[in-house]
Amino acid sequence: MLPHADPHPELSVVICSHNGAHNLPTSLERLRRQSLDVSRYEVIVVDDGSSDGTADVARAWGARVVALTPNQGLAAARNAGVSAARGQIVVFTDDDCDADPAWLAGMSEAFDDPGVDAAGGRVLPGPGEGFALRYVSCRNPLVPLSSELLESGDPVYRLRLYLRAILQGPAPLSAGDRLYSVVGANMAFRRPLIYDLQGFDEAFRFGGEEEDLCRRADAHGARIVYAPAARVVHRFEPGLKDTLRRSRAYGRGNARAARKHAEVRPIVYPFPLLAVGTLAAGLVRRRLRLAVLGLLAPLVTYPRWLIDLRQQGSVETIAYPYVQFAQEVSTMLGEIDGHQAGYERTSPRHLLPDEANLAESGSAA
């Protein structure tokens, strides 16, 4: 059972779950073992239209439950959790994440500075074996985005950052560094800030809702920092299907953001387009060398994997450039999906007035 929090806790942990009954026990067990004093935090599970007994599992563990029917999407579920929160700091994680024992202590410490409005922790790929898990361990898709992205939206500047990431990997982050965006699996906001921003945009049903909120937070003058001491382990699914699904969802989210924010540009990865174009030209013109060049292009355009191959001696690393190629293609396909779906501004239906916090476990938002 989870501990009973003080009626006015410092932190409110919100887990949004859709059909996550099989995942929740492990996540809630890790929350029960936090080093932070039990009086300082509460746990809220938002059951977003589940059909598998998610709410019953959460209640059995002693979590407060907010039930949404039918499924409303991740942004709406987050707003419902904020509405139920009694803490001044709202911390989010997912039902497939296992919190480090010092997770909440690390997140709380980040907010000791009164100038910090939001924080993003570290998300590590989950334990296990398999090709896909080894790949995401090398190229973790759940990394907070550096404030470098705030410096300019110029396409040439963004291309330079992209090329640097291809050669060297993402820019390293240190504790206290300013962020452009946090990761939904491990993020925290001062509750008043969320209300000032009118909550998560419920048009973002899955993918991009946290980045949209961070974009608005930056425009609001908020300070978002990196808190690496607040760590969670994300249990990635073992196959590549989930990895590509996340890439496509990111593309859909960015397309919605581009419709909403004039300064947001579509994501266009040049190397996949070049490789596909070269392969297609070789096939159409029946030029074998040109077609082979297109097939081998990912090995040349993502050279850091060849460097890793030389350093680690793992033959499977040869396949990693093709996975990155598939991820970038999936993201661009997601962009197409998102532009076709369009964006329709919606009011935050599930963000209740701040004084109307839900006090009873099992209440519906």
pLDDT by residue (tens digit) across 214-248? 999 999 999 999 999 999 999 988 788 888 998 99
Q: Give the phi and the psi of residue 223 in degrees, each rounded to 5.
A: -110, 120
Whole-prediction pTM: 0.89
Task: Give me 84's structure tokens.
Answer: 């139920």
Domains of the chain: 11-238 (3.90.550.10), 239-339 (no CATH)
Question: Is the pLDDT reported for residue 356 higher than 60?
Answer: no
AA letter at 55? A
pLDDT by residue (tens digit) across 27-60? 999 999 999 999 999 999 999 999 999 999 999 9
Residue with tokens 């990761």: 183
DSSP-assigned letter for residue 178: B
Helices (H), the chain: 24-32, 54-60, 74-84, 103-110, 131-138, 148-151, 155-168, 191-196, 209-219, 240-260, 270-284, 288-301, 304-312, 320-341
Residue with tokens 């989930």: 242
CA–CA separation, 71 and 67 (whole Å): 10
* Confidence at residue 361, expressed as pLDDT on a 0 to 100 scale: 35
Per-residue pLDDT, averaged over 68-83, amounts to 94
- Percent of the chain exceeding pLDDT 90 equals 54
* Residues in Cβ contact with 239 at an 8 Å cutoff, skipping those fewer than 6 apart: 130, 132
DSSP-assigned letter for residue 173: -
CA–CA separation, 115 and 106 (whole Å): 16
CB 318 within 8 A of CB 299: yes
Query: Which residues on adjacent β-strands are paired with residue 91?
Result: 13, 188
* Sign of the CA dihedral with 4 first, then 10, 13, and 14 last: positive
Q: Give the phi and the psi of residue 108 in degrees, each rounded to 5.
A: -60, -40
